[in-house]
């Protein structure tokens, strides 16, 4: 509980709202108005085969992160490695609710979104290995993954938010109906000036952008309450920009799905931006080099009790959509896909040094 003690010392009377990471998520924060959702109704809406597919994708992400970390430890992967473990329900819920025909932008914690938007495990893993078969030809690495509608994988905190806003600008400029721009950012980014400028302009110009704060409680090793004055973040900030906000339980796929569905409907109907805050907590350190000493084992264990994949699985079993045995089989199959992607990455060629300086400039039209 070292972190909480420090926070109490530095913020005095505000301590009542600082009990972050020690209670079940929905209980943690005072004043959160969580988006209401009906799990049974959503199960009927999505249907069995799609639910199974979504669980597979979440498992694929989990195995990708576990194996990616292992490859990092073996020295196969370099740079920084930011794991999405623990946050899978949010982006899986978003893509399940919205589909892939939108623009997406996210942070350096980008492996999951790339996989959800069509980057193959082979392309993503080969990118981690720095191979020519990687999704960015080995030029981007862990923090810069892409897909046809994924603008990155951008690694300056808050700096990607104007880019996502620009994608929303294009959608409005070209009058592209049924499209929106999704921008994922962390709790640590909300205090950046670029975020403020983007939210103001998006609201001023009626840009169809969904800003999704994935509040995973930590900006690297700094607890969110030591960096952001307002709490809840999304609900408070939204007022300042005259936009709607939605607070989601980021550990609950069904709540995320319902919230994203409703928020997207709002954006497409009104062409107004919205602010979403998904409350979650990452399972790993900020990056692989972070041992997470600021968080007690007990706190982490409590968070992991609400593992979004286990929660999702249990709901499906409860509703007789899945058996434990089927889950085991599915889990194994996803693991095999990731192991195969490691073999693919391992066997892929290094980029040819001859092409090192190619592709800095885009070819010009003749």
Partner 1 sequence: MGMQNIEIREALRQAIDEEMTRDATVFIMGEEVAEYNGAYKVTKGMLAKWGSRRVIDTPIAENGFAGIAIGAAQTGLRPIVEFMSWNFSFVAADQLISNACKAYYMSGGRFKVPIVFRGPNGAAAQVSCQHSHCVEAIYGNLPGFIVIAPSNAYDAKGLLKSAIRSNNPVIFLENELDYGDKMEIPTEEYLVPIGKAKVIREGKHVTLVSYSRMLKFCKEAADELSKRGISVEIIDLRTIKPLDIATVAASVRKTHRCVLVEEGHIFAGISAELGFQIIEHCFDDLDAPLVRVCQRETPLPYSKFLEKESLPNTARIVAALNEVLA
The binding site for partner 1 (CB under 8 A) comprises 103, 105, 134-140, 144, 146, 148, 151-152, 154, 156, 159-171, 173-174, 193-194, 197-198, 200-201, 204, 359-365
Output 52 or 137, the one with its CB closest to partner 1: 137
Q: Could you give the CA distance from residue 41 to residue 32 in angstroms, rounded to a whole number?
A: 23
CB 287, min distance to partner 1, A: 18
Q: Could you give the CA distance from residue 190 to residue 187 in angstroms, rounded to a whole number?
A: 6
Output 352 or 365, the one with its CB closest to partner 1: 365
Instruction: State whether residue 48 is helix, strand or coil.
Output: helix
203: which 2 tokens?
């609201």
The residues near 323 (Cβ < 8 Å, ≥ 6 apart) are 317
77: which 2 tokens?
């992967």
Output 174 or 325, the one with its CB closest to partner 1: 174
CB 360, min distance to partner 1, A: 5
DSSP state of 350: P
CB 138, min distance to partner 1, A: 8
Within 13 A of 310's CA, how many CA atoms are on the CB side? Answer: 7
Output 146 or 254, the one with its CB closest to partner 1: 146
Please work out, in degrees rounded to the nearest 5, the angle formed at the alpha carbon of residue 316 by the alpha carbons of 104 and 112: 25
CB 54, min distance to partner 1, A: 26
CB 351, min distance to partner 1, A: 10
Q: Could you give the CA distance from residue 76 to residue 134 in angstroms, rounded to a whole number?
A: 14
CB 68, min distance to partner 1, A: 19
Q: Could you give the CA distance from residue 29 to residue 23 in angstroms, rounded to a whole number?
A: 9
260: which 2 tokens?
């994203």
Q: Could you give the CA distance from residue 166 to residue 207 in angstroms, rounded to a whole number?
A: 9
The strand pair at 222-223 and 218-219 is best described as antiparallel
Instruction: State whether residue 246 is helix, strand or coil.
Output: strand
Output 13 or 365, the one with its CB closest to partner 1: 365
The residues near 326 (Cβ < 8 Å, ≥ 6 apart) are none
CB 6, min distance to partner 1, A: 30
* Residue 49: burial class (beta carbons within 10 Å; 0-12, 13-18, 19+): exposed
Output 184 or 253, the one with its CB closest to partner 1: 184
Give, for 202, the enclosing helix (H) or strand (E): helix 193-204
Output 204 or 293, the one with its CB closest to partner 1: 204
CB 210, min distance to partner 1, A: 14
Output 160 or 306, the one with its CB closest to partner 1: 160
């Amino acid at each position: 509980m070292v972190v909480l003690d420090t926070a109490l010392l530095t913020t005095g009377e505000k301590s009542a709202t600082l009990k972050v990471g020690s209670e079940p998520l929905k209980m943690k924060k005072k004043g959160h108005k969580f988006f209401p959702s009906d799990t049974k109704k959503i199960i009927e809406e999505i249907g069995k085969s799609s639910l199974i597919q979504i669980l597979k994708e979440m498992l694929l992400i989990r195995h990708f992160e576990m194996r990616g970390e292992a490859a990092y430890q073996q020295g196969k992967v370099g740079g920084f490695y930011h794991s999405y473990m623990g946050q899978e329900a949010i982006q899986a819920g978003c893509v399940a609710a919205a589909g892939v025909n939108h623009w997406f932008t996210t942070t350096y914690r980008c492996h999951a979104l790339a996989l959800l938007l069509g980057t193959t495990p082979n392309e993503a893993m080969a990118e981690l290995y720095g191979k020519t078969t990687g999704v960015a030809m080995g030029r981007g690495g862990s923090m810069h993954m892409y897909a046809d509608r994924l603008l990155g994988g951008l690694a300056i905190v808050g700096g990607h938010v104007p880019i996502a806003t620009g994608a929303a600008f294009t959608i409005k400029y070209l009058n592209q109906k049924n499209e929106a721009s999704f921008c994922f950012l962390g709790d640590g980014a909300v205090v950046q000036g670029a975020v403020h400028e983007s939210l103001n302009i998006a609201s001023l110009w009626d840009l169809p952008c969904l800003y999704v704060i994935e509040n995973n409680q930590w900006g690297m090793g700094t607890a969110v309450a030591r960096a952001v004055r307002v709490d809840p973040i999304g609900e408070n900030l939204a007022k300042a920009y005259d936009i709607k906000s939605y607070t989601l339980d980021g550990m609950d796929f069904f709540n995320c799905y319902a919230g994203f569905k409703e928020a997207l409907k709002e954006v497409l109907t009104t062409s107004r931006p919205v602010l979403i805050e998904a409350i979650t907590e990452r399972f790993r350190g900020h990056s692989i080099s972070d041992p997470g000493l600021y968080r007690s084992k007990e706190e982490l264990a409590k968070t992991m009790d609400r593992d979004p994949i286990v929660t999702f699985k249990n709901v499906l079993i409860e509703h007789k959509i899945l058996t434990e045995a089927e889950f085991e089989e599915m889990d194994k199959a996803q693991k095999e896909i990731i192991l195969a992607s490691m073999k693919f990455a391992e066997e892929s060629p290094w980029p040819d040094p001859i092409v090192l300086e190619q592709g800095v400039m885009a070819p010009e039209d003749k």
